[in-house]
Amino acid sequence: MNSQNPAIIGVGRTKFGEHYERDPESLIEEAGLQALDSAGITRKDLNACYLSDYFLQVTNKIGLEEGFFSELLELHVPMEKTRSFSSALLNACHAIQSGKYDLVLVGGMEKMTDRWDKIRDDLMLLEDPWSYYAGCTPEANHELLLNGYAKKYGIKGKQLEKLYTALAQISVKNHKNATKNPQAQYKNPITVEQVIKARGNHCKSLGLFDFAPVSDGASALILASPKAAKKCSDIPVYVLASSSATDYITFPSREDRTGFVATTLAMQTALKQANVDLTEIQIAELYDQSTLLEMLSLEDLGFCKRGKSWLDIHKSCEDYQGFYEIGGRKLYVNLNGGLKADGNPLGATGGAQIFEIFKQLQGKADSRQVHLDGEAPKLGCVSELEGFGTKSYIHILGRN
């Protein structure tokens, strides 16, 4: 481990869902206070804050988010705003590694249900402006990606039916995991038959149960320098790597339209930064904006062979034991229910993913806790996307 690896010493989050009755201030306050309490510090100990949201200026008419957060905390420390939580965390890591700060709050929030009719247009532009002008919905690119994948790898007939079943099994698995997550938006178990029926109702390859919901919520964490972490926490979780890569925003212009090259590049960089092998990663929170994206992430990150992840998923889920078995190894994926069932308030989503890995590595994930050889996992990773694979972030977290 690099001596300058920052450490997460506290986390917090709200329940994700439809919070019509609450304003963004109360959501981020709840998440932020949890993070401060779990880290054993007060707001006056903070050197800086990094915040994330996509649409608060649209949904809630909030001006400079940094000023609103300064007022909420009654602090005048440096504050910066990004889109995704992962972007905020990446920038906070750089600041701590440079030696500039010792204790930083990273927070994210979103109130998407307040103006869903308005931001749907913005979501389409976020994914691909040319698709927007052609009249595409935010879900259309997922269908195109799935069709291109099946064509490239010659998947047809009974094999194609098996692929569709594997995607349904992902949704069922994530809903099952969410039943153990008290802060998840959807804690109801579902069946493969329900997923497939929902597709048939609209004559689509992907249906209602294949996509993450629209959500409100907030998440936060406290990031510390190694020196500060030793003073504040008995079980710090180190950010061994934090990386990012980008691709063209126009989906049809990309060289490969059966996966996200940005995710592959970011993962390769992260593994080098962390000086770990992919096979050492035991748990992962993947960005399942759709069931298809969880499947493809397994390939983009290198866990599964190209064109074969659906076979590993299908086999693992026939008698699901809580993990994917890939090449004789166990990989636990989206233990909190993923975006599909935990929820997807864009600016806060990455924070919930980090929250889950942090709790798992500390051995404090309650009924969701994974035990490997009698102890908590040692290494986990998080992947988050901005847009439709346009920008990818990878974080590798470890106890040591």
**Residue 385, pLDDT above cutoff 90:** yes
DSSP string for residues in 285-349: E---SBHHHHHHHHHHTTSS-TTTHHHHHHHHHHT--SSEEETTEEEEE-TT-HHHHH---HHHH
| Dist. CA 114–CA 92, nearest whole Å | 29
Task: Judge contact between 288 and 212, C-beta under 8 A.
Answer: yes
Which residue is it, tokens 């064509």? 151
For residue 119, CA distances in Å to 57, 147, 194, 197 come to 11, 27, 28, 28
| Residue 194 scores a pLDDT above 60 | yes
Would you say residue 258 has pLDDT above 90? Answer: yes
**pLDDT at 208 exceeding the cut of 90:** yes
- Asked if residue 270 lies in contact with residue 243, where contact means CB atoms within 8 angstroms, the answer is yes
The neighbour count for residue 262, using CB atoms within 10 Å, is: 24
List, in order, residues 6 or more apart from 71 with CB less than 8 Å away: none
What is the CB neighbour count within 10 angstroms for residue 207?
22
pTM equals: 0.96
SS3 358: helix
pLDDT of residue 291: 98
pLDDT over threshold 90, residue 137? no
At residue 3, the pLDDT reads 54
pLDDT digits (tens, 9 = 90+) for 2-41: 558 999 999 999 999 999 999 999 999 999 999 999 999 9
pLDDT at 124: 83
pLDDT at 179 over 80: yes
How many angstroms separate the CA atoms of 354 and 357, rounded? 5
Using an 8 Å Cβ cutoff, are 322 and 164 in contact? no
Q: Angle 360-365-176 (CA atoms, 0-180°, nearest 5)?
A: 100
Task: Give the pLDDT band of residue 1 (cuts 50, 70, 90).
Answer: very low
Tell me: the pLDDT tens digits for 311-325? 999 999 999 999 999
Three-state SS at 201: helix
Band of residue 353 on the pLDDT scale cut at 50, 70, 90: very high
Q: What is the mean pLDDT of residues 39-46?
A: 96
* Average of per-residue pLDDT values in the chain: 95
Percent of the chain with pLDDT over 90: 86
Cβ 317 vs Cβ 307: under 8 Å: no
CA 81 → CA 29, 120, 253, 284, 348, distances in Å?
Answer: 16, 22, 30, 26, 13
| String of DSSP letters for 329-340 | EEEEE-TT-HHH
DSSP letter assigned to residue 234: S
Task: Kindly list the strands in the beta sheet with 48-52, ordered across the sheet, starting from the edge strand earlier in the chain.
Answer: 79-82, 48-52, 103-111, 216-224, 7-13, 237-246, 391-398, 379-386, 283-285, 329-333, 324-326
Helix (H, G, I), strand (E, B) or coil at 245: strand
Write the single-letter amino acid at 205.
S
* Residue appearing with tokens 């659906």: 310
CATH of 7-116+214-232, one of 3.40.47.10, 3.20.20.70, 3.40.50.720, 1.20.120.80: 3.40.47.10
166: CB partners within 8 A, 6+ apart = 295, 310, 311, 313, 314, 317
Which ranges in the chain belong to alpha helices (H)?
24-39, 56-59, 65-73, 85-97, 116-127, 129-133, 140-152, 157-178, 192-201, 226-232, 261-274, 291-300, 309-318, 338-342, 346-362
> Read out DSSP for 249-295?
SSGGGSS-SSS-HHHHHHHHHHHHHHT--GGG--EEE---SBHHHHH
Whether the per-residue pLDDT at 169 is higher than 60: the answer is yes
pLDDT one-digit tens code per residue, 263-314: 999 999 999 999 999 999 999 999 999 999 999 999 999 999 999 999 999 9
* Dihedral sign (CA 340, 396, 10, 377): positive
Checking if the pLDDT of 171 tops 80, the result is yes
Q: Cα–Cα distance between 288 and 344 in angstroms, integer?
A: 9
Pairing type for strands 48-52 and 79-82 reads: parallel
Q: Round to whole Å and give the CA distance between 114 and 233.
A: 38
